[in-house]
């Protein structure tokens, strides 16, 4: 069991988990430490850091726009890692990005450079389960997290969760990220099924933006991932106001 898995499993025994997503460098990398500290203060069990990419197939318009702002600030994966080497985050970090970014960097070199950071895992939405061995042998103690979609049949879910690490990212919609989503009427039953198969925490994510939604998903899951709502607030209101918004959503 990898360090991220141990941390989240232990924490999930006593509380519901909150894992926020932010686009690294959307407000400039000089703001990143402040943004991470705010999320830790709001109880983040881990934090997903988006790596800007030119063709983000899983991202909705809010996160795509944040990626463009990060590009305008000349944020690269190399610069992000250099920034993360400068401070301790107070919570495990998870890099969420697309396979081309990581393969271009070089998986072995990436893992080596991340040793001096608090990054403990990866989410790579466009890396199929069947191709996970392209990265797993070089990850060491870093976890490769698993996404389970709404269209996954029972047999596939069992396969996906069997050797999963970190947490299971249970996607709540068919399509891209973003607020204002319409959730399927049988979504809670689906999430409960995923939870029944998993030995590690299951978190619901994509489109979660209100306290009502959080409470609903907490009934059947170990917690939630909240992304677009936080990304939008950081862009429009800054760090302090976003902290207040997160507190309201989680209350």
Q: Is 193 a catalytic residue?
A: no
Residue 136 token pair: 């797993």
Cα 144 vs. chain centroid, distance in angstroms?
11
| CA torsion through residues 59, 61, 67, 71, sign | positive
Q: Pick the catalytic residue from 15, 33, 48, 189.
A: 48
Q: Pick the catalytic residue from 59, 118, 165, 193.
A: 59
Q: Determine contact, residues 108/123, Cβ cutoff 8 Å.
A: no
Q: Is 59 a catalytic residue?
A: yes
- Which distant-in-sequence residues (6+ apart) come within 8 Å of 112 by Cβ? none
The residue to which tokens 């939870």 are assigned: 195
Q: Which residues are catalytic?
A: 48, 59
């Amino acid at each position: 069991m990898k360090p991220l898995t141990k941390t989240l499993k232990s924490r999930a025994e006593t509380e519901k988990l909150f894992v926020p997503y932010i686009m690294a460098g959307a407000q400039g990398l000089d703001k990143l430490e402040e943004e991470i500290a705010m999320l830790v203060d709001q109880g983040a069990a881990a934090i997903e850091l988006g790596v800007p990419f030119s063709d983000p197939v899983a991202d909705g318009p809010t996160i795509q726009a944040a990626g463009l702002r990060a590009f305008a600030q000349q944020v690269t994966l190399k610069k992000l890692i250099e920034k993360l080497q400068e401070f301790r985050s107070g919570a495990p970090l998870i890099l969420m990005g697309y396979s081309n970014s990581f393969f271009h960097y070089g998986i072995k070199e990436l893992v080596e450079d991340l040793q001096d950071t608090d990054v403990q895992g990866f989410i790579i939405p466009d890396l199929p389960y069947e191709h996970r061995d392209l990265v797993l042998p070089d990850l060491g103690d870093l976890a490769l997290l698993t996404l389970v979609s709404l269209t996954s049949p029972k047999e596939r879910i069992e396969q996906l969760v069997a050797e999963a690490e970190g947490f299971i990212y249970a996607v709540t919609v068919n399509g891209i990220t973003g607020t204002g989503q319409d959730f399927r009427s049988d979504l809670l039953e689906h999430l409960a099924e995923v939870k029944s198969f998993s030995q590690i925490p299951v978190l619901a994510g994509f489109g979660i933006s209100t306290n009502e939604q959080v409470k609903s998903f907490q009934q059947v899951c170990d917690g939630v991932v909240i992304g677009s709502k936080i990304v939008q607030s950081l862009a429009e209101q800054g760090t302090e106001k976003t902290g207040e918004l997160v507190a309201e959503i989680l209350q």
